[in-house]
Structure 1
Amino acid sequence: MNIFLHELKAYRKSTMIWTVSLAALIVFFLSMFPGLTQDADQFKKLLENYPEAVRKALGVSLDSITSLLGFYSYGFTYVILCGSIQAMNLGTSILSKEVREKTADFLLTKPVTRKQIVTAKLLAVIISLVITNVIYMAIAVITASVVSEKSFDMNTFLLISLTAFLVEMMFVALGILISAAASKIKSVLPISIGTVFGFYILNMLGSVIGEKAICYLTPFKYYETSYIIKHSSYQVSFVFIEIVLIIAAIAASYVIYSKKDIHAV
């Protein structure tokens, strides 16, 4: 419990910064919606001038962009991208920071097992992400209600918003696996940004060429907002795949870290 509280306190500042940043980002995007609805036809004509490949890469749908859910989905793309960097950053630093800050040998002398250490750190990361997403969703709902003159499907809006946390959990699992497997990570930020943007570029490539196989290779494709808006639900197959991948990655992290040779300072 002491490790959990210590980690939660250590993530407090970064959690606050990320929460404020994500909330400010979506407030900025949604604040432009009233102006868009006044010139909806002109805005559509402007987007039509862009090549179809560009619109697909950016996640812009001409059929729904002038609706609140459609416009929110477009802005949400950048929210989920930033949130994934936060999650990857937290996941990668879970175990690597002990080696980097030369506190691993001190921590391992405590009367706790390595599995208990991983569990406490992982729970602290999950709680930090939950706090970020709950506050973000609350602000997003309030902002959407203020800027939209017409009613919208709140259930669909919340389903879209929740996908941020679901995608983030996949990056947390990947991050902790890297953290457990790597002998030493000097800086987590290059790894976090590189990994997230790599998957995001793969997502854009899949949207452009329409290759369905790519959908299984990047977390950003698991929860298509166009599908959620149309069906007000997730694709069950991708939810199942995510659960399997997260369990496999975290289980592997426990095994690797339990057997890992950690050098004393």
Structure 2
Amino acid sequence: MTVFKYELKQLKKNIIIWSLSMGVLIYLMLPTYLGFISGTDAMMVEAIKNNPMFEALGLSAAFVMTPLGMFSFLNSFAMTAAAIHGMSIAFSSHTKEYLNKSAEFLLTKPLSRRRVFFSKLLACTTDSLIVGAAYITGAALALLTVKGISVDWRAFFLIGGSLVLLELMFVTFGTAAGTFFPNVRTPVLVSSCIMFAFFCLSSMSKKIQEPVLGYLTPFGFFDPVRIAEAGFYQWNYVVWYVILGGGLLFVSCRIFLKKDVVFGG
């Protein structure tokens, strides 16, 4: 647990900032956006129907006009932030050992490389779970403060949970990227570019209605409309999620076990 505690301590400030930011922002924004659809403003309904952005996000006008639909709309953008966060912390956890020419984990007590690898992964996973829990809690409290609405809480937690699952997949991407390219000096910038590419690919997949492209981007794994209708995630994407994540971690771990460790200042 030495490496895990050390890595988690390094992430402590990050966890606090991201948890508060994600939780507070969704708590403040959700009631405001729900206010836009609470009335029977014909202009608002028409604006939503004719907005291509909703189509690119895979959201119908009828769905967006519901509390769960509006949460899904905001959740789509929150997922982009969560993706950057998840990938950047995992990416940085590996690149820092090479950029700083350090190997602090070997100065404590002898540990296997496998334990070091999974301790780093566990610390990043814990960070993501805490941030995700803060976000879902903030969203739930926001919905509870709005009077006169009805929410399918099972669907809500599934849609909110999709943000956590997406972030964990990007943690896997960051772990793989940090293992393959340990000398990258700008993990946040690289993570942002990769997130943007995946997000655009997902939007294109939904725009041209080509589900095969959805397998190429984690943003395509979670369709809030279908989640709300079926009451669970799509099984084909769940299976692919497990295969993709497990495969990347397996390959990354194998490479990490063979990498040289850099010492010195």
**2:28 paired with 1:9:** no
Conserved 8 A contact 1:59-1:74: no
Aligned to 1:229: 228
1:61-100 alignment, distance < 5 Å:
61-100=60-99
Aligned with 2:63: secondary structure?
coil
Structure 1 pair 229/37, CA: closer, same or farther in 2 (3 Å)?
A: same
Structure 1 pair 204/41, CA: closer, same or farther in 2 (3 Å)?
A: same
Aligned with 1:262: secondary structure?
coil
Aligned with 1:112: secondary structure?
coil
Conserved 8 A contact 1:30-1:147: no
Instruction: Report the more deviating stretch, 212-221 or 59-68.
Output: 59-68
Conserved 8 A contact 2:67-2:150: no
User: What is the CA-CA distance between 1:150 and the residue it aligns to?
Assistant: 2.3
Conserved 8 A contact 2:37-2:66: no
Aligned to 1:20: 20
For structure 1, the 5+ residue unaligned runs are none
Aligned to 1:107: 105
User: What is the CA-CA distance between 1:136 and the residue it aligns to?
Assistant: 1.6
Aligned with 1:63: secondary structure?
helix
**2:174 paired with 1:175:** yes
Aligned to 2:45: 44
Q: In 2, distance between residues paired with 1:147 and 1:191?
A: 39
Counterpart amino acid of 1:121?
Answer: K
Runs of 4+ deviating beyond 4 Å: none
Percent of aligned pairs with the same residue? 27
Tell me the matched-pair count.
Answer: 262
Conserved 8 A contact 1:202-1:214: yes
User: What is the CA-CA distance between 1:90 and the residue it aligns to?
Assistant: 1.3
For structure 2, the 5+ residue unaligned runs are none
Counterpart amino acid of 1:145?
Answer: L
Q: In 1, distance between residues paired with 2:143 and 2:120?
A: 35
Conserved 8 A contact 1:173-1:246: yes
Conserved 8 A contact 1:34-1:148: no
Conserved 8 A contact 2:57-2:203: yes
**2:145 paired with 1:146:** yes
Counterpart amino acid of 1:131?
Answer: I
Deviation string, structure 1 residues 179-227 (Cα, Å, up to 9, x no partner): 1111411121111101111100111111111112111100001010010
Aligned with 1:64: secondary structure?
helix
Conserved 8 A contact 2:27-2:141: no
Structure 1 pair 74/93, CA: closer, same or farther in 2 (3 Å)?
A: same
User: What is the CA-CA distance between 1:47 and the residue it aligns to?
Assistant: 2.2
**2:132 paired with 1:130:** no
Aligned to 2:119: 120
What is the CA RMSD across the aligned residues, in angstroms? 1.6
Conserved 8 A contact 2:90-2:174: yes
